[in-house]
A and B are shown apart, each in its own frame.
Chain A
Amino acid sequence: MLSQAVVKRLKEIVGERNVVTDKVGLLTYGYDGTLLSGEALGVVSPQTTEQVVEIVKLMNEHDIKLVPRGAGTNESGGTIPSEKSVVISFTKMTKIHEIDTENFVAVVEPGVINFDLQVELAKKNFYFPPDPSSFKASTIGGNLGECSGGPKCFKYGVTRDYMLGLEVVLPNGKVIQTGGRNFQSEPGYDLTRIIVGSEGILGLVTKVFVRILPIPRAKKTMLALYDKVEDASQTVADIVAAGIIPTTLELMDNLLINTTEDFTHAGLPRDAGAVLIIEVDGYPEDMDGQVKTIGEIASKIAKEFKVAQTAVEVDQIWTSRRSAFGSVARVRPSYGVNDITVPRSNFPKAIEGVLKVAKDFGVTIGVVAHAGDGNLHPLILFDQRNKEETETVHAAEQALCMMALDLDGTISGEHGIGLVKKKYLDKEFTPAAMEAFRKIKRSFDPSNRFNPGKIIDL
Chain B
Amino acid sequence: MSNVNISKLKGIVGDAYVIDSPSEMAKYLKGQGKPAVVVLPASTSEVSSIVKLANEKNVKLGVGGVVVDTQGITGGIAMVMSRMNRILEMDHLNLVAVVEPGLLHKEFLLKVAEAGLNFPPEPYVVETSSVGGCFAIGDSDSKSFEYGPTRTFLLGFEMVLPTGEILEIGNKCIKNVSGLDFIHFAVGSQGTFGIFTKLLVKLLPVPEAKKAVIGTFPSMHKANATFNTLIKRNVHPTRMNLINASLAKIAKPETEGQLVIIDLQGFKESGKNIANEVASVLTLGGGSDVKIIEEGAEYDQMINGWLKVRAELNAKPERIVEFVVGPMKMPQALAQLEALTGDLGAYPGIIVEGLLGYVCLALPEGTDKLVLATKVNKLAMSLGGNVKGLLGHKLKAEVYNDAEMWKQTTSLLSELRQQFDPKGILNPGVSLEA
Contacts and interface: CB of A to CB of B under 8 A. Distances in A.
A413 B390 CA distance: 31
Interface residues of A, number: 89
A228 B74 CA distance: 65
Contacts of B86: none
A341 B177 CA distance: 10
Contacts of A289: 267-269
B167 A433 contact: yes
A329 B385 CA distance: 49
Interface stretch (A112-120, A241-249, A299-307, A316-324): A241-249
B405 interface: yes
How large, as a class, is the contact surface on chain B? Answer: 35 or more
A186 interface: yes
Interface in B29-47: none
A170 B416 contact: no
B184 interface: yes
Contacts of A439: 416, 419-420
Interface stretch (A16-24, A64-72, A134-142, A150-158): A150-158
A103 B357 contact: yes
B267 A186 contact: no
Nearest to B390: A188
B324 A185 contact: yes
A190 B140 contact: no
A68 B231 CA distance: 39
A428 B269 contact: no
A180 B174 CA distance: 25
Interface in A160-195: 160-161, 170, 174-177, 180-191, 193-194
Contacts of B434: 188
Nearest to B322: A184
A433 B269 CA distance: 47
B346 interface: no
A414 B415 CA distance: 29
Contact of A410 (B171, B415, B419): B171
A242 to B, nearest CB: 8
Nearest to B116: A243
Nearest to B270: A283
Contact of A412 (B169, B178, B273): B178
B229 to A, nearest CB: 13
A434 to B, nearest CB: 8
Contacts of B161: 432, 436
A245 B204 contact: yes
Contacts of B166: 432
Interface string A390-433: 00000000000000000011111111110001000100111011
B189 A184 contact: no
B92 to A, nearest CB: 7
Interface string A259-288: 000000000000000000000001111100
Interface stretch (A1-9, A27-35, A83-91, A367-375): A367-375
B388 interface: yes
B327 interface: yes
A188 B432 contact: yes
Given A190-B184, A444-B412, A414 B171 contact: no
A81 interface: no
Contacts of A352: none
B93 interface: yes
Interface string A37-62: 00000000000000000000000000
Contacts of B416: 189, 439-440, 443
A289 to B, nearest CB: 7
Nearest to B407: A174
B426 interface: no
Nearest to A439: B419
B429 interface: no
Tell which of B166, B173, B188, B432 has the most Cβ of chain A within 10 Å: B173
Contacts of A82: none
B384 A160 contact: no
A154 B182 contact: no
Nearest to A286: B267
Given A214-B234, A286-B269, A177 B94 contact: no
Given A103-B357, A190-B184, A456-B180, 5 more contacts: A180-B385, A194-B181, A282-B266, A344-B94, A421-B178
Interface of A: 100, 102-105, 146-147, 149, 153-154, 157-158, 160-161, 170, 174-177, 180-191, 193-194, 196-198, 202, 214, 217, 237, 240-241, 243-245, 282-286, 289-290, 341-345, 370, 373-375, 408-417, 421, 425, 428-430, 432-434, 436-437, 439-444, 455-456
Interface of B: 91-96, 138-140, 144, 148-149, 151-152, 161, 165-169, 171-182, 184-185, 187-189, 204-206, 208, 231, 234, 236, 266-270, 273-274, 322, 324-329, 356-358, 384-386, 388-390, 392-393, 396, 404-405, 408-410, 412-413, 415-416, 419-420, 432, 434
13 contacts: A160-B184, A177-B405, A180-B385, A188-B188, A189-B188, A189-B413, A190-B187, A193-B185, A194-B180, A286-B269, A373-B174, A414-B175, A433-B169
